[in-house]
Amino acid sequence: MTAVVGRCEATLDQRDLDAGVLATMYREAQEKSAQSRRRRMHSGVVAIWNIAPEPFHPKLVEFCEEAIRETAGRSHRLPSGPLHDAAEVSRAGIPTAMLFVQSLKGISHNKIEDTSEEHLKLAVIALDKLASKTMDWIRAQ
């Protein structure tokens, strides 16, 4: 059986470290919405919330990668800038970075999010190494 939906709402989370790229993505979403109107569909794009990209501190990102490689053998860099509290800390002039731990099945920010005990143990070791590298760097300045 086929059903035709009378109304559909979707949220599009656009992320990039470059404000220009974000502006282009938003413009392209508006253009696609305009194209759908030509097909007699009513559509629109409304910005709900945005935050200017706030890059992580390059030295701390380097320390994160080193700590993870030393602990797990390899590191995967995520193209993410600090959000939430990290953005405000960074804007206050405090060097900021985030170290992520793998979530099972890629589920994040959800009540069923879970991480294996093995990965949690590795994360604690890597975080300890990151903290040590950061403290050494601060002492050397």
Q: What is the pLDDT of residues 82-107, one digit of tens each?
A: 566 888 888 899 999 888 898 999 88
Contact yes or no for 130/99 (Cβ under 8 A) = yes
Q: Record the tokens describing residue 33, joined without a space.
A: 């919405």
Confidence category of residue 41, pLDDT binned at 50, 70, 90: confident
* Main-chain dihedrals φ then ψ at residue 116, nearest 5 degrees: -65, 150
Confidence category of residue 113, pLDDT binned at 50, 70, 90: very high
| pLDDT at 40 exceeding the cut of 80 | no
Give me the mean pLDDT over the 53-79 stretch. Answer: 91
Which of the given ranges, 10-19, 39-48, 98-107, has the highest pLDDT on average? Answer: 98-107
Sign of CA dihedral 89, 21, 61, 84: positive
Contacts of 105 (CB under 8 A, 6+ apart): 114
pLDDT of the residue at 70 = 97
Give me the mean pLDDT over the 56-68 stretch. Answer: 95
pLDDT of the residue at 132 = 98
Average pLDDT of the residues of the chain: 88
Sign of CA dihedral 75, 106, 129, 87: positive
Sign of CA dihedral 56, 69, 76, 107: negative
Q: What is the DSSP letter of 39?
A: T
pLDDT of the residue at 80 = 64
| pLDDT at 6 exceeding the cut of 80 | no
pLDDT of the residue at 90 = 87
